[in-house]
Chains A and B, each alone.
Chain A
Amino acid sequence: MHNIKDSAEFEVLGKNVIREEGHGKVTGLGKYAIDLEMPRMLWAKIKRSTRPHAKIINIDVSRAQSLAGVHAVLVDKDCPQTLFGFGCYDEPLLARGKVRYIGEPVVAVAADSEAIAEQACDLIEIDYEDLPAVFDVHEAFQTNPPAIVHEEQERYRRVPIGPVQYDPKHPNAFGYYRIRTGEVEKGFKEADVVLERTYTNAMMGHAPMERHNSVSLWDADGNVTVWSSSQAAYPLLNQISEALDIPHSRIRVIIPKYVGGGFGGKIEMKAEGLCAVLSRVAGNRPVKIVYTREESLCWAGVQHPFDMKIKSGVRKDGTITSCEMFVLVNGGAYAQHGFLVTRQASYGPLGSYRFPNFKLDNYVVYTNQPPGVAYRGFGNTQIHFALESHIDELANAIGMDAYEIRRKNILVEGEINAAGEIQHSVAGSELLDEIKKGLEQHGTLVREGKGPWRRGRGIAFANKDSVAPSASSAIVKVHNDETVEIRHSAGNIGQGSSTTLIQIAAEFFKVRPDRVKTAEVDTWITPYDQLTGSSRITFAAGNAVLMACEDVKGQILKMAAEVMQASPEELDLAGMKVFVKDNPDRFMAVRELFRTVFFTGSFLPTGGELLGKATFTVPSSKIDPETGHAADDGMRKIFSFCTRAAQAVEIAVNTETGEVKLEKIAIANDVGLATAVAAIGGALLIIVSPVEPSLDRVYIGRTFCVVVLAGLGSVTGTLAAGIILGVIESLVLTMFGASWAPAVAYGLLLLVLGIRPQGLFGR
């Protein structure tokens, strides 16, 4: 049995390995989806709504249709009359009867070139009859709102999650989550100070450098193939299936090895399904669409604005006695991932602090705004911003230090949190101590700066959970030249996950990482994966790869046993050599297994392949929809795992202009053992991002909560024990957007804390 125990033994993990697709990236030779071109390919454009809420009276496409070079023009009635979605199936491919936001797709065109398609869109005339629109989440939440965005909501198909999701008293709310622990009123009575504050944050765009784009082909055999810059092959496949009303077996999703970022904004289907219909109508020609930057920013999913009311009670010694939260999430015009963002965010506070009494109601509400989706942390960014601001206000109210109040209430190892979940590998106190030390290295704060500049310091804590249940599959093939090929569908959107998986397999086989490669994500070849999201890939796909390696190792030992006239149990494998454990001088190379010509060429004597496969699944406990609590089933598990981070900053504020400069920062992330050192260093550093006072955003005072999240590792149950930790797509959350100030001076303290392998994830 292979056993990876501690980092001292690692030969590949924890090392700085050049990323698998790096060469293609620095030479410009790697092909992203946006670079694909095919024979007979057409270009699509979408004519979008110019109204926030309006009935469609008439659509005149005649001039567009007769334009030379136009091959297909689609309106809703030309599309399958289905609805697709994630938690709530509410969205047609093209607006059906009415439009619900500015930018909603109304007509789609395929033409010989992008320019012709654009010209055709300009020739389309749409008559609207405006309806009252609702943008504000409080107005939308009313029992008699100014507009009902989805009149037919009650009939929508939904995923059962939490308590009842549709409540006629709030006809625009489409998702609801609640958590109940103890009695908040009793808790407030026990407090010395009770504070109530409201926090809001603005809508944000993901802005991946590679805009949303895809090529769709509906071929003459009835199969739909899609090449997409996506971060979730199988969810995309499923959405195409639902939108086009065709089975999974007819759909093939290919995600190139080169994907220019995602940050949560490339999970849902964008125009892949729509372009498939265009492809069919245009005579089975491939149809490419590339969103403009404007489309990509505004209409390919945005970060949900949250409105968060928090009421807390605190005793003079800093103990939080009670906390009540009422959260409204502006979901935009379609549900997309809103229901899950709402649920994940609801648990956010409970992974940081101890709340003896806790009450949360969190509604996600339709408005006539662009739909919201996941964005770097599934709502955790928003909720931690509010929570950390609030903790600072509590500290001020009782005259306590920002560090002390957090230290007092931070969860500790093995504690059961306010949702009944056991907390594992909690480095909370250590993280806070480290950032405190980090700032103290810079001496005491000098408030007075030059001229109008004044300085201040602040700290923040955050945690990030990863979804459960969670599953990844992997296939590992050993070729006749002993190259290891990993087939997985955990798309690498830039975070370097395929290299992480290579490192894991290389470590397992004790081979150099350049002897391992990954296959392009292709749902006809690479097996199921839930999604590249929720910070889950290193953990879930990593374990699946490890298990598949173990599977193929068993096959190799069995096959070698016959040749070596030994029993498989007597043998072991390292560096692609099978050897007798008691007598390592007796060995054979794996390539020698391909010793006999089978029919023709160098194959296994029995035919077949050295092909290991495995699925890694993380179960979760049953959750009580009324209280949000995990059942006491011995597991007490809501999420796959939770990672934690803390930061301290010193900033300077220009009291005349409002400019803010980040001058010093201390970062502490609980990443366990980093699998990919160079990648993690780079990813953590993105947080060096400035506040922009000129944007007229509401900045909430003292809390410069710049939150970094890091990936978490794995314990592989029966197969191998160890921690493999690494880099995931959602490493980083920033409160203020990722623009950049080159002038930012910063001191950096990067801590990689080892976490205790014992007791991880309940094992």
Chain B
Amino acid sequence: MRRALNIEINGRKQVLEIEPNELLLDVLRLGVGLTGTKEGCGEGVCGSCTVMVDGELVRSCLTLAMQVDGKAVTTIEGIANGSELHPLQRRFLEHGAVQCGFCSPGLILTAKALLSSNPDPSEAEVRDAIRGNFCRCTGYVKIVEAILAAAAELRSGANA
């Protein structure tokens, strides 16, 4: 039986009709066509499907859509300011932190959550924050560099 789901996605409030067995990932990818959220493993392990619910990171592949009723979801499509990339997105590009790119959305959102709670993380803190995000191409060094560079940029922007 289809149910109504009240959900805000990237700032837009929507009412969707969904089946109880739909996951947040399905609602985003198939329901509203936001395919930037990826499914790498479907088991909550790889981190590609990471999105924010009410500002907190979750695994959308293991989140029942019905349980986000009334909540606000942020995906990778929702973090740029119009055509201007978020500093994390731009630093990922500049630092060569993107190769196949499949893990990038989950990593960028994870980094965004880290920097909002800890604007000046150490390298160890960055590594701990992204410990649940698999990348098979880069070996993480460039990703850590990109996050630290974005953190510095955001701090200097905040001070300016």
Direct A–B contact present (CB less than 8 angstroms)? yes
Chain A residue nearest to B100 (CB atoms) is A494
- For residue A446, CB closer than 8 A to chain B, the reply is no
Complex: A28 Cα to B50 Cα, angstroms: 12
The answer to whether the Cβ of A37 comes within 8 Å of any Cβ in the partner chain is yes
Q: Which residues of A contact B151 (CB under 8 A)?
A: none
Residues A27 and B77 in contact, CB atoms below 8 Å apart: yes
Chain B proximity of A602: nearest CB distance (Å) = 28
Q: Is the CB of A494 within 8 A of B101?
A: yes
What is the minimal beta-carbon distance from A195 to any residue of chain B, in angstroms? 34
Q: Is A742 interfacial (CB 8 A cutoff)?
A: yes
Q: Are A678 and B95 in contact (CB under 8 A)?
A: yes
User: Does A651 touch B at the CB level, under 8 Å?
Assistant: no
Q: A521 at interface (Cβ–Cβ under 8 A)?
A: no
Is B140 touching A740 in the complex (CB atoms < 8 A)? Answer: yes
Tell yes or no: B71 within 8 A of A by CB.
Answer: no
Q: Which of A18-26, A504-512, A544-552, A580-588 contacts B (4 or more CB under 8 A)?
A: A18-26
Knowing A34-B38, A293-B40, the reply to whether A28 touches B105 (Cβ < 8 A) is: yes
Chain A residues with CB under 8 A of B158? none
Q: Tell me whether A683 and B37 are in contact (CB under 8 A).
A: no
Whether the pair A209, B103 counts as a contact (CB closer than 8 A) is: yes
Contacts A26-B85, A260-B100: A209 and B136 contacting too (C-beta < 8 A)? yes
A472 at the A/B interface (Cβ < 8 Å)?
no
Q: Do A30 and B137 touch across chains, with their CB atoms under 8 A apart?
A: no
- Taking A261-B102, A293-B42 as contacts, is the C-beta distance between A208 and B136 under 8 angstroms? yes
Task: Knowing A32-B102, A35-B29, A259-B100 are in contact, say whether A209-B135 is a contact too (CB < 8 A).
Answer: yes
Whether B48 is near chain A, meaning CB under 8 Å from some CB there, is yes
- Neighbour of B77 across the interface among A25, A29, A208, A740, CB < 8 A: A29
Closest chain A residue to B96, Cβ basis: A678
Give the shortest distance, in Å, between B156 (CB) and chain A (any CB): 21
Question: Shortest distance in angstroms between B56's beta carbon and chain A's nearest beta carbon?
Answer: 19
Structural contact, B100 and A27, CB atoms closer than 8 A: no
B43 contacts chain A at the CB level, 8 A cutoff: yes
In whole angstroms, what is the CA distance A284 to B89 when docked?
Answer: 40
Q: Are A37 and B30 in contact (CB under 8 A)?
A: yes
> How many angstroms between the C-alpha atoms of A687 and B136 in the bound complex?
11
**Is B139 an interface residue, CB under 8 A from the partner?**
yes
Complex Cα spacing A21 to B100, Å: 10
A28 interface neighbour in B40, B75, B93, B137, Cβ under 8 Å: B75
In the complex the two chains form, what is the Cα distance from A209 to B47 in whole Å? 10
For the complex, is A682 an interface residue (Cβ under 8 Å from B)? yes
Per-residue interface assignment for chain B, residues 97 to 141, with 1 indicating a CB less than 8 Å from any chain A CB and 0 otherwise: 111111111001000000000000000100110110011111111
- Are the CB atoms of B136 and A738 closer together than 8 Å? yes
| A31 in contact (CB, < 8 A) | yes
Contact A683 B76 (CB under 8 A): no
User: Which residues from chain B contact A292 at a C-beta distance below 8 Å?
Assistant: 42
Q: Does B72 contact A (CB under 8 A)?
A: no
Assembled-state Cα–Cα distance A493/B99 (Å): 8
In the complex, are the beta carbons of A26 and B98 less than 8 A apart?
A: yes
Q: In the bound complex, what is the Cα–Cα distance between A743 and B120 (angstroms)? A: 19
Binary flags per residue of A678-709, CB closer than 8 Å to B gives 1, else 0: 11011111111100000000000000000000
B101 (CB) vs chain A CBs: closest residue: A25
Taking CB as reference atom, which chain B residue is nearest A681? B96
Residue B46 interfacial (CB < 8 Å): yes
CB of B15 closer than 8 Å to a CB of A: no
Given the known inter-chain contacts A26-B104, A28-B34, please indicate yes or no for A293 contacting B43, CB distance below 8 A.
yes
Interface of A (DSSP majority class): loop
Assess the A209–B100 pair: CB atoms within 8 A. yes
Interfacial residues of chain B within 31-86, with CB under 8 A of chain A in the complex: 33-43, 46, 48, 75-77, 80, 85
Choose among A34, A207, A258, A740 the residue that contacts B101 (Cβ–Cβ < 8 A): A258
A-chain residues with CB within 8 Å of residue B29 when the two chains form the complex: 35
Residues of B within 8 A of A19 (CB): 93, 98
Residue of B nearest to A206 (CB): B136
Describe B's contact surface by its main secondary structure: loop
Cα(A682)–Cα(B35), bound, Å: 26
**What distance in Å separates the Cβ of B100 from its nearest Cβ neighbour in chain A?**
3
A263 CB within 8 Å of chain B:
yes
Residues of B within 8 A of A677 (CB): 96
Are A25's CB and B98's CB within 8 A? yes
Task: Report the bound CA distance from A187 to B140 in whole Å.
Answer: 46
Interface residues in B7-41 by Cβ distance below 8 A to A read: 21, 29-30, 33-41
Chain A CB within 8 A of B94 CB: yes
Give the contacting residue for A209; candidates B38, B90, B96; CB below 8 A. B38
Once A26-B85, A28-B37, A35-B29 are accepted as A-B contacts, the answer to whether A207 and B136 lie under 8 Å apart by CB is yes
Write the chain B residue with the least CB distance to A748.
Answer: B141
What is the CB-to-nearest-CB distance from B77 to chain A, in angstroms, rounded to a whole number? 5
- A494 vs B130: C-alpha distance when bound (angstroms): 20
Residue contact A28 to B136, C-beta cutoff 8 Å: no
B48 closest partner in A (C-beta): A209
Residues of chain A contacted by B94 (CB below 8 angstroms): 16, 18, 678
Within A271-302, which residues are at the interface with B (CB < 8 Å)?
Answer: 292-293
How many angstroms from the CA of A208 to the CA of B46 in the assembled complex? 11
Is A178 an interface residue when CB atoms closer than 8 A count as contact?
A: no
Q: Which residues of A contact B124 (CB under 8 A)?
A: 742
Known: A26-B89, A28-B35, A293-B41. A686 touches B131 (CB 8 A): no
State whether the Cβ of A210 lies closer than 8 Å to any Cβ in chain B: yes
**Would A27 and B139 count as touching, CB distance under 8 A?**
no
- Other 20 A-B pairs with CB < 8 A, given A209-B135, A260-B102, A261-B100: A21-B101, A23-B85, A24-B101, A26-B90, A26-B92, A26-B105, A27-B36, A27-B76, A37-B30, A208-B100, A209-B48, A678-B94, A679-B96, A679-B99, A681-B96, A682-B95, A682-B96, A682-B137, A682-B142, A685-B138
What are some 30 contacts across the A-B interface (CB < 8 A)?
A23-B85, A25-B98, A30-B101, A31-B35, A34-B39, A35-B29, A208-B102, A209-B46, A209-B48, A209-B100, A209-B103, A260-B101, A261-B99, A261-B136, A261-B137, A293-B41, A293-B43, A495-B137, A679-B96, A681-B142, A682-B97, A682-B99, A682-B137, A682-B142, A684-B139, A686-B137, A686-B138, A689-B139, A738-B139, A740-B139
Name B's A-contacting residues (CB within 8 A): 21, 29-30, 33-43, 46, 48, 75-77, 80, 85, 89-90, 92-105, 108, 124, 127-128, 130-131, 134-142
